[in-house]
Amino acid sequence: MPPVRAIFISGGASGIGRAVAVRFAAGGWFVGLGDIDAAGMAGTLALLGEGRGWSRLLDVRDAAQWDDVLAAFAEAAGGRIDAVFNNAGVPLGGPLAEMTEAEIDRCLGVNLKGALLGARAAYPWLRASAPGSCLLSTSSAAGIWGTPGAAVYSATKFAVRAMTESLDADWAADGIRVADLMPAFIDTPLLDHTSHAGSNAAIRAEVSAAGLEITPVDEVAETAWRAVHGTRLHWPVGKTAVRLTRAARWFPGALRKQLRRGLSG
């Protein structure tokens, strides 16, 4: 009987991380969670079923924590890790001139440094379980074309996209697949936060005012399942992300004009 496959998910306490954890557990995988929210991870574990999951506190900005947590998860999973979902992120946006230095540092630290450290820590485990292992990371539709009013966030998501493309080339000889998700606005609790300290409006209200759709989180989870089992590099999720991908490729001039007029223009 082949061993149960194992996936580790950062940012597994809620939102996309929770939905992906539920999807992989339903597919027969053993699921590891890492997050700074212990209560949220407990809530996710309760949805997975008895013996289907494992969790540990993890600040993705800490390299030593990454190494320790993945080693502990591998032990719990029978000595192997087949996939790592580099998912932890913060939705810090807003005009660059209104963002504080602390907000910029946090966005860069979690979204970019955290993804790089996660990939580095995952590499020996994924190499050991290759071929067929996978590093999946959460980029964004903001990594397809820069999002107005979110320069720092977009910069981090473009960087995750670039990391994915680089590692796809670097790790091909090791038999490790590399991919990223590029979701637009997803129906998670993060949409109920403000984009930055200087804003009083929840992100959800701003998205609705711009006339953009909000994609169910289960659609992201299903795309993550296909990405880990597939061969494509970038996976747009949601109508906005798909339209943006096409426009960026075929009509970049028109897209630029529209965004300069405003998202709903």
Q: What integer pLDDT is reported at residue 199 of this predicted model? A: 42
pLDDT tens string, the chain, 265 residues long: the values are 456 899 999 999 999 999 999 999 999 999 999 999 999 999 999 999 889 999 999 999 999 999 999 999 999 999 999 999 999 999 887 889 988 999 999 999 999 999 999 999 999 999 999 999 999 999 999 899 888 888 999 999 999 999 999 999 999 999 999 999 999 877 555 545 444 444 444 444 444 444 456 788 899 999 999 999 999 999 999 888 888 888 888 988 988 888 888 754 4
Separation CA 130–CA 2 (nearest Å):
14
- pLDDT for the residue numbered 187: 54
- Name the residues annotated as catalytic: 153
Q: How far apart (Å, rounded) are the C-alpha atoms in residues 36 and 22?
A: 19
Task: Determine the pLDDT at residue 150.
Answer: 87
All structural domains of the chain, each given as residue ranges with its CATH number in brackets, are 6-261 (3.40.50.720)
For 108, list phi and psi in degrees, rounded to 5.
-65, -40
Distance spanning both ends of the chain, measured CA to CA: 57
